[in-house]
Amino acid sequence: MTMPPHQYSSKREALEKLEFEIRGDISLPLQESNLVFGEGNPDGEVLFIGEAPGYYENIEQRPFVGRSGQLLTELLKTIGWKREGVYITNIVKRRPPENRDPTPEEITLYAPYLLRQVEIIHPKLILPLGRFSMNFFLPTAKISRDQGKVFWWKEFVVIPLYHPAAALRSAEVKGELEKSFCTLPALRERYAEFLKERSLIEESPEKENMGESQPGLF
């Protein structure tokens, strides 16, 4: 039985215990690759989530350190955020062969560990990078339509973003991603406002007709 996050002295300690646990879980797929658990500031209020590690991530055992990671770091700098001030991870914690897309089974098997990371960090903003990460939280969302928009997932604010790898392949996508990044500081500041709007929705007599499985979109 695992201890709930509040029984640890800090979020970082809770994450260290979780990483130790996932390293010992030999039932997880992709054991031939290195574990890339995640890194950053668990108290930093912002959580970026990609789909799976790539070639360089597998070598360095750190998330987003290749060309996509370099772009992510640059984008953070443009809005005055430091990479070490946010937390960065992936759904699948080991590299799929030849950088292929993670399979639904791999996502399902690694999902409990991601959900526990989210529970421990409890960020103000969850920022999925790319459609795989986005659809984990928002199954009916479309990245070209919904990136940069604000959704509710359980008690968390979720803002899907284009994956930096897609931005490297398309100037148009990169421009859209840059625009979305520019909105993030203000959206983080509006977190209290989002919570208030959420509470008003939950108190509304129309709530029972909204559908619990649908994200709240502002």
pLDDT tens digits for 70-102?
999 999 999 999 999 999 999 999 999 998 999
pLDDT tens digits for 142-196?
999 999 999 999 999 999 999 999 999 999 999 999 999 999 999 999 998 888 8
CATH level 3 topology of 34-203 = Uracil-DNA Glycosylase, subunit E (3.40.470)
Q: How far apart are CA 90 and CA 75, in angstroms?
A: 18
For the chain, the domains span 34-203
pLDDT at 190: 93
- Asked if 88 and 39 count as a contact pair (C-beta separation under 8 A), the reply is yes
Mean pLDDT taken over the chain: 90
Query: pLDDT category, 1, cuts 50, 70, 90?
Result: very low
CA 162 to centroid of chain Cα atoms: 12
Check pLDDT > 50 for residue 214.
no
Check pLDDT > 70 for residue 210.
no
Residue located via tokens 């759904």: 91
pLDDT tens digits for 50-60?
999 999 999 99
Q: How far apart are CA 66 and CA 62, in angstroms?
A: 10
Query: pLDDT category, 201, cuts 50, 70, 90?
Result: low
Both ends of the chain: CA-CA distance in Å? 38
DSSP string across 11-68: HHHHHHHHHHHHHT-TTSS-TTSPP---EE-TTSSEEEEES---HHHHHHTSSS-SHH
